[in-house]
Amino acid sequence: MKKLMLLGDEALAQGVVDAGCSGVFAYPGTPSTEVMEYIQKCPEALQRDIHRTWSSNEKTAVEEAVGMSYTGKRTMSCMKHVGLNVAADPFMNSAFVGANGGHIVTVADDPSMHSSQNEQDSRFYAKFAMIPCLEPSNQQECYDMAFHAYELSEKYHLPVMMRLETRLSHSRSGVQRREMLAENELKLPEDRNQFMLLPAFARRKYKHLIEIQPDLTEESENSPYNWVEEGKDSSLGIIACGLAYNYVKEATTRYNCEYPILKISQYPIPVKMIEKFVDDCEKILVVEEGQPLVEEMLKGAIPKNTKITGRLNGAFTRDGEMDPNKVAVALGKETLSGKGLPEVVTGRPPALCVGCPHIDSYKSLNEALKSYVEDGQRYVFSDIGCYTLGFLPPYNSINTCLDMGASITMAKGAADAGLFPAIAVIGDSTFSHSGMTGLLDCIYDKTNLVIIILDNSTTGMTGGQDYTGFGKLEAICSGMGVEKEHIRVITPLSRQFEENVQVLKEEIEYEGVSVIIPRRECVQTMTRRMRAKKKQEAK
């Protein structure tokens, strides 16, 4: 098989396709988006007609993947780390019902929050659910681990987590492919009750999950992805997890450090391997991307054990990405940092694109709200997407951003407390993701608020993916109970400024649930579409 130059996300995607996957269910989110995008264009996936459309959100993605696993097919659900919070309910229960066909849950973490609202470590979720977790250290392991994960999943009838991080997801390297495996045939579970979580079954399944933990640990002890590299200087032993192994190798090679290294890329942690490694070294430095999961487990009930160092004792900061320089400093070496950026390279804060329809929407909203505030202070509840940039000058249009869908529910809570006017701003894809249930709460309580669904006809922030509510927003809102005369569609253009301000004022004055939909295509997707059209016409 030929060698491919792939991103970490793409290597994993090619791996699951070659390992016989029949369906991928995902919601876009940096840094995981490229997994699904690669499979949507992958020739082998097209030839096999592997399921590869976006789901409404991460929860439905996991549930759909569990359903495909029920039929005996190999499947994958995929998301970024905060998406796993949305999917936590089915994810945790999937450890109880298990898997029939292999089920991989891929989660891409974002240390240093390059494009995220928090910096959580998904390995804790795998430990919480008591399922195996694989943490590749390079693109080849991203590919190879897909095969390993399916074998592990089907051997123990459990979902297996694949944890990636931004640097690995978005860096490219050569990947050697294997022969493609055939897809599984349809085969329903031998135990008809395997996927039933009535309390009587759930108690039995929980006991079983606990009972197999030693077997999963033994798998890690013998995993081809966990190994020890001997070193001549045992005054320090380094435990390096996943991607951090590369940072350790770069720093120790640079300074000719001959410390022994234990690489961990499969969890539960290999206890015997670690115990022997720790016993053979005078001190231990734990290098892990994310939070101090392994370090905490090593210290266990002896918090004053000074032999173990890492993020907890200040050898590394508690936040931010790891890198070779941080490892070098922790080893007591000179910094590996190069020269700083030249002055000519100035920082570029994020901003709405030139021509973005949200700009005109925010200008209209700001003008409409002038009639309702005395000190110029507006209180508008917003959400996660491109439009969150409306917080920044010169717009200063929004005040909050909590999680997907929270704009509507936060505005409802504020309205329940007496705030007027209560305004929620949400994107069209985000509304489909998790805004609809908030709207249902508003309708049930006849809340007095205005919901503005910024419709740019795409999932803009992650690059322009499709979403499930496209073309149906008015029908959804009407079907859920919003009065048709208070579902207003406007066109966010400067020439319609006065008209749009008037619509906003009218709906603010209406005592009840109003939905205003400013609709104009994202300038980025429109540009790509027009280029493609010209290219097609030129043929």
Residues 389-427: tens digit of each pLDDT: 999 999 999 999 999 999 999 999 999 999 999 999 999
**What torsion do the CA atoms of 414, 420, 421, 425 make, to the nearest 10 degrees?**
-10
pLDDT computed for residue 378 by the predictor = 77
Length of the chain (residues): 539
Distance, in Å, from the CA atom of 339 to the CA atom of 322, rounded to the nearest integer, reads 19
Q: What is the pLDDT of residues 88-127, one digit of tens each?
A: 999 999 999 999 999 999 999 999 888 888 899 999 999 9
Distance, in Å, from the CA atom of 44 to the CA atom of 74, rounded to the nearest integer, reads 15
**What torsion do the CA atoms of 477, 482, 485, 490 make, to the nearest 10 degrees?**
-40
Please give the structure tokens belonging to residue 398.
């929004």
Which residues neighbour 105 within 8 Å (Cβ) at sequence distance 6 or greater?
62, 65, 76, 77, 78, 84, 91, 94, 159, 160, 161, 162
Please give the structure tokens belonging to residue 150.
């399916």
pLDDT tens-place values along the chain, 539 residues long: 789 999 999 999 999 999 999 999 999 999 999 999 999 999 999 999 999 999 999 999 999 999 999 999 999 999 999 999 999 999 999 999 999 999 999 999 999 888 888 899 999 999 999 999 999 999 999 999 999 999 999 999 999 999 999 999 999 999 999 999 999 999 999 888 889 999 999 999 999 999 999 999 999 999 999 999 999 999 999 999 999 999 999 999 999 999 999 999 999 999 999 999 999 999 999 999 999 999 999 887 555 677 888 998 889 999 999 988 899 999 988 776 777 777 777 777 789 999 999 999 999 999 999 999 877 677 999 999 999 999 999 999 999 999 999 999 999 999 999 999 999 999 999 999 999 999 999 999 999 999 999 999 999 989 999 999 999 999 999 999 999 999 999 999 999 999 999 999 999 999 999 999 999 999 999 999 999 999 888 88
Q: Using an 8 Å Cβ cutoff, are 110 and 80 in contact?
A: yes
φ, ψ of residue 461 to 5 degrees: the values are -65, -30
Q: Using an 8 Å Cβ cutoff, are 410 and 400 in contact?
A: yes
Q: Using an 8 Å Cβ cutoff, are 234 and 281 in contact?
A: yes
φ, ψ of residue 261 to 5 degrees: the values are -125, 130
| Percentages (nearest 5) of helix, strand, coil residues in the chain | 45, 15, 40
Distance, in Å, from the CA atom of 294 to the CA atom of 292, rounded to the nearest integer, reads 6
Amino acid, res. 284: I
61, 433, 474, 475, 487 from 469: Cα distances, Å: 15, 9, 10, 10, 16
Among candidates 148, 165, 323, 174, which has minimal Cα distance to 249? 323
291, 373, 396 from 376: Cα distances, Å: 41, 6, 11
90, 173, 281, 334, 417 from 251: Cα distances, Å: 41, 20, 19, 10, 56
pLDDT computed for residue 304 by the predictor = 66
pLDDT computed for residue 307 by the predictor = 86
Please tell me whether the peptide bond between 349 and the residue prior to it is cis, using omega within 30 degrees of 0: no
Distance, in Å, from the CA atom of 456 to the CA atom of 56, rounded to the nearest integer, reads 17
142 alpha carbon, distance to own chain's centre: 17
| CA dihedral over 412, 413, 418, 421, signed as positive or negative | negative
Which secondary-structure segment (H or E) carries 164? Answer: strand 160-165
DSSP labels for 92-125?
HHHHHH--SS-EEEEEEE-TT-SS-S----THHH
